[in-house]
Amino acid sequence: MDFYQAGLFCTLVCVAISFVALLRERDDIHKILIVDLVETTGLVLICLVATDLAEALILPGLVVGISELLMLTELYIRKENLPIPSFKPIKIEVMRTAPPIITFVLVVYGIILSGFSGGAVAGIGLVFYFLCKGYEERFELLETISGYAWALWIVAFFIFMILPQAWLIAVMLSGGAILIKVTTKMALIGTMREGRNV
């Protein structure tokens, strides 16, 4: 029995166990938790291949799991007609004065980094800003920007495929677009409070 077989054996046992849990579970919200467990074992099955390709396949696998979780939990809230908790914003002085400068620093640093990780850093800045300051939602605007950035990113991919000699343009395009996309997507999380949609 080589390493791959041993790993496969253990993982499949884990898959079976997690499915037994799913079989026995009756409560809707607990099912979501178990589903997360099951998905993780699926990722381990990919990891077992242990090449660069496996590394590249894990990211899509992870993203599929996260996005389905996001959608299902929202569907659950809708299905159960759960009210959205309302709370008063905390009144701390530093939360009114600090956000601009912190956000500015984080966004600038994110732009220097560029790309996916840059987007994440800049996005955290904006999340912070919106959480502290923003009581008005700007979903439409952020969504539009995010959508266009996503489309540009896909365009860059097609440039790589069809016109490889223009790769520099594609690199710049995709780097910039993903920066904007990730930033706006994360910023949207900051605006997810029952404020006014402007």
Given 105, 135, 157, 169, the residue binding other proteins (CB under 8 A) = 157
Cβ contact 107:167 at 8 Å:
no
If DSSP codes are grouped into helix, strand and coil, which group holds residue 24? Answer: helix
Name the DSSP letter for residue 165. G
Instruction: Please list every residue from 130 through 149 that binds other proteins, using CB under 8 A.
Output: 139, 143
Which among 14-22, 87-95, 100-108, 122-130 is the span making contact with other proteins, rule CB under 8 A? 14-22
The upper half-sphere exposure of residue 107, i.e. CA atoms within 13 Å in the direction of its Cβ, equals 16
Residue 3 near other proteins by CB under 8 A: yes
Residue 195 near other proteins by CB under 8 A: no
The upper half-sphere exposure of residue 93, i.e. CA atoms within 13 Å in the direction of its Cβ, equals 0
Residue 116 near other proteins by CB under 8 A: yes
Instruction: Please list every residue from 28 through 87 that binds other proteins, using CB under 8 A.
Output: 28, 31-32, 35, 38-39, 41-43, 45-46, 48-57, 59-61, 63-79
Residue 19 near other proteins by CB under 8 A: yes
**CA pair distance 160, 150, nearest whole angstrom:** 16
